[in-house]
Structure 1
Amino acid sequence: MGFISKFTKLRRNREFDYQPRYYKSDKEGNPFKIEYKFDQFRTTAGSNRGLKAKFNNVVADAKKQGDRNMRVRMLIIISILVLIFLYIIDFDLSIFFSS
Structure 2
Amino acid sequence: MLSKITRLRKNRKFEYNPRFYDNKDKPNPFKIEPKFDQFRSTLNPSRGLKGKINSAFDDTKRQGDRNIKIRMAVILAILILAFLYIIDFDLSIFFSS
Alpha carbons of 1:17 and 1:39: their partners in 2 closer, same or farther (altered >3 Å)? closer
Alignment-derived partner of residue 60 in structure 1: 58
Q: Structure 1 segments of 4 or more deviating over 3 A?
A: 15-19
Higher relative contact order (CA 8 A, sep 6+): 2
Query: How many Å apart are 1:28 and its aligned residue?
Result: 2.2
TM-score for the superposition, normalised by structure 1 = 0.59
Contact 1:44-1:54 within 8 A present in 2 as well:
no
Secondary structure at the aligned position of 2:39 is classed as coil
Q: Which among 31, 36, 39 is matched to residue 37 of structure 2?
A: 39
Q: Which residue in 1 is equivalent to 2:86?
A: 88
| Structure with larger Rg | 1
- Decide whether aligned partners of structure 1 residues 76 and 40 sit closer, same or farther in structure 2, where only a CA change above 3 A counts: same
In structure 1, distance between residues paired with 2:39 and 2:50: 21
Q: TM-score, normalised by structure 2?
A: 0.60
Equivalent pairs: percent with the same residue? 54
What number of residue pairs does the alignment pair up? 81
RMSD: 3.4
Structure 1 unaligned blocks of 5 or more: 1-12, 20-26
